Amino acid sequence: MPGAVDTTERPVEIAIVGGGIIGLILGLGLIKRGIKVTIYEQARSLREIGAGVAFTANAVRCMGLIEPGIVKALREVATANGDADDPNDWLQWVDGFNQHFENPNEEKLLYKLYAGYRGFEGCHRAQFLDALVKIVPEAVVQFRKRLDTYTQSEEDDQVTLKFTDGTTATADALIGCDGIKSRVRQILLGEDNPASFPTYTHKFAFRGLIPMERAIAVLGDYKARNQHMHIGPKAHVLHFPVAGQTLMNFVAFVSDPQEWSHEATMVAPAKREEVEETFKSWGPTVRKITSLLPDELDKWAIFDSFDNPAPYYNQGLICLAGDAAHASAPHHGAGAGIGIEDALCLATLFEKAVQAIETRKTTKRKAISLVFDTFNSVRKERSQWLVDSSRGICDVYEWQNPECGDDAEKCFKEIEWRSHKIWNFDIDGMLQETQEGYDKRIIG
């Protein structure tokens, strides 16, 4: 083609929009596989808002397959349940609502599940991000780069990114890891497409951090230092240790029949009195926990992509990953883990693509577009299932599932199979499907 630029000899260059946990992990995985990466972050510095995040054993294994340094970074800041030298790998659900008069200060243990060795490691999001930043090569991340739009050029087989500050950049492909409000998704699917935007789930969450010594004084050592889910009607409370057992992460999910009124932000200020009022009819343990909260805290609107899921994750040299593709409610605690699975899939595919390009089995443009086609095929069903199941499991926790109600045995069966589908995911099977799927597309 006249005027076309031969890009075959250049190394593969990938632009990632979004410098959160998934964007950094994906970037590290691509760099390890010899790919040039630039991460464009709209903020002035890398930071993750939020409180605690937890990872299952399977998610940690994915991290190790992407780049072993990621696991080392996690372990620098992760906190296990109970004794750090003898972790408690069981997750527990208790009746937080009903007072059991034989011992009114204790909650009834409804069910517990073994999550695997070191199967529940919690950390503060910002601390994990800080640990990841230390292993990202210098100059990979560019700050104050808010994406305005992008164009795909067939003449030179590249993507041009245009930022709101008037600057531009080019790359062989663009991956949107820019979260639930993804600008890349809006451009990819169309700004008049409902699937370009998340919707309110009619749940919000009070979130806060409680000093561990205060939690122990009120709850006792075991309950404070170990994950517990307190379930009840139309709400549920979760807590687990973070920051080396120095803090207890608190989150209380509440049903909200109204629309979210803070249109400009998903986070709004709240007061401890609001939480106490919400749970005033609950059992004494939950009421004790709410009394430990600071006077001022946050409440977070829970948005997701359930109502209008993305019909596809890719188009040409553009792809979505993590929350940008499949934002889910946090009730499974698996959104970040599923995003890490995405990153492993993409890193594996780009390794195959580089080989195909170097051996001249195909052009760079086709090799990359087949990466994204294969990714969409491999990851869409599971990631969309998580979006659906995260809504469904919340109904179980809050006794609003019409088939389960507050029947402990029926609720446990739902929790068990859904949790195991996440925790026991066949990573090796995914990698085999990924590699075979790419090979078939190259040959085809």
Residues noted as catalytic:
207
Residue type, 250: F
Structure-token pair, residue 377:
């095929």
Instruction: Give the burial class of 366: count Cβ atoms within 10 A of its Cβ; 0-12 exposed, 13-18 middle, 19 or more buried.
Output: middle
**What is the C-alpha to C-alpha distance for residues 51 and 273, in angstroms, rounded to an integer?**
20
**What is the C-alpha to C-alpha distance for residues 90 and 120, in angstroms, rounded to an integer?**
8
Task: Give just the sign of the alpha carbon dihedral 342, 55, 181, 137.
Answer: negative
The secondary structure of 158-226 as a DSSP string is EEEEEETTS-EEEESEEEE---TT-HHHHHHH-TT-GGGS-EEEEEEEEEEEEEHHHHHHHH-HHHHHS
**What is the C-alpha to C-alpha distance for residues 122 and 119, in angstroms, rounded to an integer?**
10
Buried/exposed 83-111: b ≥16 CB within 10 Å, e otherwise: eeeebbbebbbbbbbebeeeeeebbeebb
**What is the C-alpha to C-alpha distance for residues 182 and 162, in angstroms, rounded to an integer?**
15
Structure-token pair, residue 272:
């401890």
Instruction: Give the burial class of 213: count Cβ atoms within 10 A of its Cβ; 0-12 exposed, 13-18 middle, 19 or more buried.
Output: exposed
